[in-house]
Amino acid sequence: MAQNWLQITHQNDKIQLSWQRGYEIRRLAPEVAFQQPFNEENAAELRWYLEDYLSFPYGIFPDNAVKIEQKLQHWGQQLFELVFRSTEKGREFFQEATREGLDKCELGIISDNAEVLNLPWELLYSPDYQFLAPSLAGMYRSLSSQGVKAPLPTMPDDQLNILLVIARPYDQQDVGFKTIARPLLAALQPIRQRVNLKVLRPPSLKAFEAELQGNKGFYHIVHFDGHGNFDSETQGVLVFEDEQGNEQAVSAREIAQYLTDCRVPIFVLNACKSGQVGEEAFSSVAGQLVKLGAKGVVAMAYSVYAKGAEHFIRRLYGELVRGECIATAVAAGRKSMSIDKMRPSPKGNLPLQDWLVPVLYQQEPYTPFVPKKTAPSFADLMAQADNTPESSKAVGLPDESAYGFIGRDYEILRLERAFRQNHVVLVQGMGGVGKTELAAGFARWLDDTQGRTGGMFFTSFEQGAGLSQVINQIGRALGGERFSQMMPDKQEDVVQGYLQTNPCLLIWDNFEPVNGFPTGNEPLLSGEERNKLKRFLKELRGGQSWVLITSRHEELWLDCGYSLINLRGLSQADAQELAAKILQTVGVERKNLPAEYLELLKLLGGHPLSLRVVLPHLKTQTPVQLIEALRRGLDTFRGQEEEGREKSLTVSLDYSFARLSERTRQHLPFLALFSERVDAHWLHLFSENADNEFGQAYRAVFGENLQKPDWLRILNEAAAAGVLEYLGETIYKIHPALPWYLRQQLNTITSQEVINELEKKLLIFYAALADKYYKQLISKAKLATFVLRVEEPNLLQNLRLAEQQQEWAYAQSILQALGEVYERIGRKPEFKSLRQRALKQIGIHLADAKAKGKNALDFWMYLRGADANEAAQSADLKGARKVDQEILDELIAVNDSSVNVKIASANHNLGTIAEEQRQFDVAVDYYNKALKIYEDAGDLYRAASDYHHLGRVAQEQRQFDVAVDYYNKALKIFEDAGDLYRAASDYHHLGRVAQEQRQFDVAVDYYNKALKIYEDAGDLYSAAREYHHLGMVAQEQRQFDVAVDYYNKALKIFEDAGDLYSAASDYHQLGMVAQEQRQFDVAVDYYQKTYKVFEQFRDWRKASATLGKWGRVLEAQENYAEALQIYINGLTIELKHNKDWIGFYINALACILKQLGESQFQDIWREATDEECAGEYRKAIWAARDRLETES
C-alpha cells in the first residue's frame, strides 16, 4: 500500500513536482520549464520496437531492436533528470518519497495536454532504482481541468461483476478467441463464488447497450478485448462486431455515454497485436472516457502482443478480486510483464520490453470491489472446497481428460458465430480428433461466461440413446422426482416449453450410429425413433436453445438445415501444449529430447488421440524409433496403458473396424504399408493385374486383385467410418497411427516372410513412380510436383526401407525426385539431411561406396555431386571443386563410354565453379567439353545447360549479343521440351542482360515471366531471386518504396530458409537504397550486416565491394577516420584475394589522406595495421592525393 504520493503537474509549458506523505500537507517544488525530451524520431523508434519489430525480426532489425532497448534507459534517464533533478526540492522529494522503497510510492502525471499524457512516463529511469514503473505501488495519468465526479451509488459488494466484450472481426487472422479470457478465468477461479463474469453475446453495440441498460449500477468493470482504430476525423473508436461477425466501429463518446448512464466505473481496454488495425487509438479513447466520468480506464498506449496481455490481465484481475485499488492492480500486472518478457515471433520466442504499454487514467483513487467480511455459509464453504461455482448449469458432461481442455480457440469462435445464425450445429471429424472434448469444452466455456443460463445437457448416442433419454435427462435435472411422476407426453411438452423460452445447450455426442455407421450398416435406432429426433429438432426452431451434434460423418437425414463445422487436428501451438502435459505426466523431460521430437509431433498431425497414445513411449523409445514404428507398423505400441475409462486408439479403431464390411476389412490392412496419405489410383495400379509381379504379390496376401472402383468403395467406406479422411480426387488421409493398427490385422492374414515380399514389391513400385515423375518435372512440372508432394510421406518411408535393404538404385530414384522438388520449393536443409543420412549408410568415401557395387557407386556420385552443388551455391568453391574433380577422375579411370554422360556432367559442374571464380577461359573450356559429349550423343536437352552457362560467361564479359544468342538457344530447347521451369532461368538472365543495357521494361517483362513460372511451381526460393532483380530495376528507376518491398520479400524467403548468404545480397541493396535516400545510419547498418555474412562465407569479392560502399557512406557523413579503417580493410582483402579493385581503394585512401592530413592518416593506419603506411602503397596513395589536389 502506498504511503507516499508524487505528482508531476504540467501546465503552461511548465511542470511542477509535488509530494505528499500519508495525511500530511502536499509540498510543492518550484516549477521548471518543460522541455519535450522526445522528438518524432524517438517516438517512431519506440512505436516500431513495440508494435512492428517482432512481426519481421529479420535483416538488420534485430540489431536495431537491441539499440532501441539501450535507448529506453537513456530516454528514461532524460525524463528522470527533468522531473527529479532540475531542482533541489525535486531531489529531496524523490529521495524522501522512496526512502521506504518504490513499492510504498505512487506516481501521477496530471495534464490536459494529450502530447504530455502520451509520453512514455513509464520509462522513468533512476541510476539507483533502474526503471521505476515496474516497482512503484502505482502509476496513473489524470486530467488537470476535470473535477472529480460525484460518488457513484453503492455498488454490489457480494460479487465483482465483469462484462467481457470479445470482438474478433478478423477471423482466423485474429488473435486467439480466448487469449484474454483464459488467463482471466484462471485468475478468478480461486474465488469464483465472489465473481460474476459474463461475456457479451454477440459483441455488438446493440447488445452492449441492451446489457448495460438492463443492468444499471450492476457492473463494476467493462473489459473490452479487441481492437481500436481512428475514424475519418481522427477520433478514437473501438471495433465491435455486427451480427454477422464483421467489424463495427463505435466512437469513444458513444461508449462513454453508456458507461455514465449505466454507472459503470471501470473500463479496461485490452488491445492485442494482430496486424489488422491501429490499436494506438486506445489512449485517445481512454482520455475521452475519463473526461466523461469513468472512475478509471486501463488502456494500452501501444499495441500489445497477446502473450504480454496474458501476463498483465492475470495479475490485474488477481489483485482486483482481492480488493486492491485499480492503481495497485495495474502496477502488479506491469510487474508481471517485466518479469516474463518472452513474446512469440516468426523466429520463435524473443524478449520484448513491453511492460511500459499498459497505462491507467484516473481522477481519484478508486477500489471497484471490496470483498464482504461476513463469515461464509456452509454452502459457500462446500463450493469453495470443490472450487466450482454454485450456479453451474452443466449436466452430464464427461470429465475432462487428465490434460484438461487444450486450445481450440478458433473452433470456439466458429461455434459462437455459427449459433448466432442457426440453432443446430454439426461438428464432423475423424474418430479421436477431439469432437467430444470440443463439445464439452464449449459447454464449460458457456457455463463460465453465462452463455447459456438455462443449462447445458450432454447426451451420448454411442449406445443408441433416443429422444426419451434426452427428455428425461433434462427434466430430472430441472424438476427432480416431480418430473419423473409426470406422463411421458406431458414430460416432452414441459421440456419443449422450457427449451423454447430459456437459453440452453443440448449436446448430442457420438451421433453416427443412430442412422447406421458407417453408411449402409444397421441403424441403432428404429425409423420411428429417428423421426422423433428429427421432429424434436424442427420444433426447437425459433426458440432460445441450441443443439450441438458431433459425428464422424454428416447427418443429412436430419433435414434440419444445420451448420457444419469440420474439425481437424490441434494447431501446432496447441499440439505442443498438449504434448508438454503428456510428457510431464509420464516423467519425460522435453529439454532432453533430440530435434526429431518436433518431427514426431508433426507426423502425429495434431491428432489428440494419437498424441496421447504415442508420446508416453518416449520414456523408453527415441523419437526416431517411434517415427519408424508409426510408419512401419511395428508392435511397439502393444500394452495396457490406454485401457480403461479414457478411449485409446485401439478401442477407437476397433470400434470402427468391426463395423466395416467384410471386403473392406479384408483389404484395408494393405494400408499398413502406407504413411499419411493413400491414393486409390496407385492402389489399383499396384493390385489390379494378376499377371505382373505387383498384382501377384498382392493376390498372395489378400486373395484377389482389385480394380479402381473396388478401392474407391473400400476407401469411401473407411472414410465414412472416420478411419480415413477424404482429401479430394482419389486421395485419402490416413490417421497417423492407423498403419500400426492395420499391421496387427495384416499379421493375422499371412506370415512375416510374405509380408516382407509384398513390402519389397511396393518399394519397387514407388521407385518406379518416383523415376517417372522425376522425368516429368521437365515437361509436366506442375503435375509432377503435385504427385511427388502428395506421395512424399510414402516416398520417404520407402527411401528409408531402400537404405535399410541396401537397394541403392531404388534409393537414388526416390531421393533424386524428392531432392529436385525440395530444391524448387526452398526445402534445401531437408534435402541435405536426407543426403547425409544416405551417405552414412553407403559410406562417406568413394572407396566405401565402390565396395558395395555399381549401384552404390552411382548413388554416391549423385549424393556427392549434390553436395558439391550446394557448396558452390554457398561460396565454398574450394570444397565444391575438390568433390567434382574427385568424381571426374574416377569416371575417366573407368574408361567406359557408358559413363560419358556423367563425365560431361562433372565437366559442367567444374565449369560452374570456374565461372564463380571468374576464371572465364577455364569455365568455357569445361563447358565446351561437356557440350561436345552431349552434342555427339544427340542429347540437346542436356546441352542446353551448357549453352545457358556459356551465355552467363559472355554476359559477365559484357559480350551481350553473344550472351543473348546462347540464352535463346537454351530457351528454345527447354520450351520445345515443355520444361518451362528450366526455361525460367533463361528468362531471368535475358532480363539481366536487358537490365544492364537499361532496357528496363524488357527486363521487367522477362523477370515477371520467370517469377510466374517459379510461383506456379511453388518454388519460392527461386522466386526470391526474381523479387531481388525486380527490386534492382525499381531502384535504378528511383522507385525506392517499390524496391524496398521487393527486397524485403526476397529477404524473408532467404532468411526463413536459413540462407544468409543469399539474403546478404538483399541487405546490400537495401543499404544502397538507404544510401541514395541519404539515410546514412540505416545504410551503414545494412552494409555492416552484409559484410559480416560475406566475410563468414569467405566471399572476398563481394565483401570488398561492400566495404567500398560502406566507406563512401562514412565519407558522406564526414566520418573520415572510420572510413579510413574500412578502406584499409578493403585494400587488404584486394591485395590478398581479388586484385580487381586495388585502384579504387588507392583513390579512396587518397581522398581520406587529403581530408585528414598525413599525421592523422598515419596514426589511424598504424592503429589498424600495426605498421606505417610505407613502400609502394604509400607512394601510390600519396601520388593519387597529389593528383586530387592538382585537379581541385
738 pLDDT more than 80 = no
Which range of 53-62, 173-182, 542-551 scores highest in mean pLDDT? It is 542-551
**179-193, 315-329, 400-414, 930-944: the lowest-pLDDT one:** 179-193
**What value does the mean pLDDT of the chain take?**
86
306 pLDDT more than 50 = yes
- Name every residue whose Cβ is closer than 8 Å to that of residue 418 and which is 6 or more positions away in sequence: 425, 563, 565
152 pLDDT more than 80 = no
Q: Smallest Cα–Cα separation from 966: which of 957, 916, 998, 870?
A: 957
Residue 761 is placed in which grid cell?
A: 514389391
Q: Which residues pair with 362 in a beta bridge?
A: 296
- Give the C-alpha separation, 292 to 543, whole Å: 40
Grid cell 474465488 is found at: 191
Which pLDDT does position 642 carry in this prediction?
Answer: 35
- Name every residue whose Cβ is closer than 8 Å to that of residue 305 and which is 6 or more positions away in sequence: 54, 272, 273, 343, 344, 352, 354
Strands 296-300 and 358-362: antiparallel
Let me know the angle formed at the C-alpha of 921 by 920 and 925, rounded to the nearest 5 degrees.
115
pLDDT digits (tens, 9 = 90+) for 125-136: 998 899 999 999
Mean pLDDT, rounded, for 364-392: 64
Which pLDDT does position 761 carry in this prediction?
Answer: 96
pLDDT digits (tens, 9 = 90+) for 194-239: 788 999 999 999 999 999 999 998 999 999 988 877 777 767 788 8
Q: Smallest Cα–Cα separation from 914: which of 887, 878, 945?
A: 878
Which pLDDT does position 277 carry in this prediction?
Answer: 34
Residue 286 is placed in which grid cell?
A: 481512454
How far lies 1078's CA from each of 839, 1071, 1075, 1115, in Å? 51, 10, 5, 12
- Looking at domain 392-566, its CATH superfamily turns out to be P-loop containing nucleotide triphosphate hydrolases (3.40.50.300)
Let me know the angle formed at the C-alpha of 355 by 353 and 360, rounded to the nearest 5 degrees.
150
- Give the C-alpha separation, 275 to 164, whole Å: 22
Residue 807 is placed in which grid cell?
A: 537397394
pLDDT digits (tens, 9 = 90+) for 689-705: 988 999 999 999 999 99
Outline where 738-895 has alpha helix (H): 738-747, 752-779, 781-790, 792-804, 808-824, 828-842, 846-850, 854-873, 877-894
Mean pLDDT, rounded, for 492-507: 94
26's torsion region: left (phi>0), alpha (psi -120 to 50) or beta? beta
Residue by residue, DSSP assigns 1093-1127 as HHHHTT-HHHHHHHHHHHHHHHHHTT-HHHHHHHH
Which range of 317-321, 520-524, 898-902 scores highest in mean pLDDT? It is 317-321
Pick the CATH number of 161-362 from 3.40.50, 1.10.490, 2.60.40, 3.30.2010: 3.40.50
895 pLDDT more than 90 = no
The domain locations on the chain are 4-142, 161-362, 392-566, 572-624, 633-749, 751-842, 1099-1192
Burial label for 651, CB within 10 Å (0-12, 13-18, 19+), is middle
Name the band, by pLDDT with cuts 50, 70 and 90, for residue 279.
very low
Relative orientation angle of helices 306-320 and 181-188, to the nearest 10 degrees = 30
Name the 3-class secondary structure at 750.
coil
Mean pLDDT, rounded, for 967-986: 92
Residue 140 is placed in which grid cell?
A: 496513473
Mean pLDDT, rounded, for 401-411: 84
- Give the C-alpha separation, 108 to 97, whole Å: 13
Name the band, by pLDDT with cuts 50, 70 and 90, for residue 643.
very low
CB 430 within 8 Å of CB 594: no
Domains 161-362 and 392-566 share a fold: yes
Amino acid at 999: Q
Which range of 516-525, 613-622, 1129-1138 scores highest in mean pLDDT? It is 1129-1138
- Give the C-alpha separation, 103 to 592, whole Å: 40
Q: Smallest Cα–Cα separation from 1076: which of 1044, 1029, 1102?
A: 1044
CB 671 within 8 Å of CB 739: yes
Our separate counts of H helices and E strands in the chain read 49, 27
401 pLDDT more than 90 = no
Residue 470 is placed in which grid cell?
A: 434426452
CATH of domain 633-749: 1.10.10
Name the band, by pLDDT with cuts 50, 70 and 90, for residue 646.
very low
CB 717 within 8 Å of CB 723: no
- Give the C-alpha separation, 987 to 279, whole Å: 45
- Give the C-alpha separation, 723 to 878, whole Å: 54
**82-96, 226-240, 703-717, 924-938: the lowest-pLDDT one:** 226-240
653 pLDDT more than 90 = no
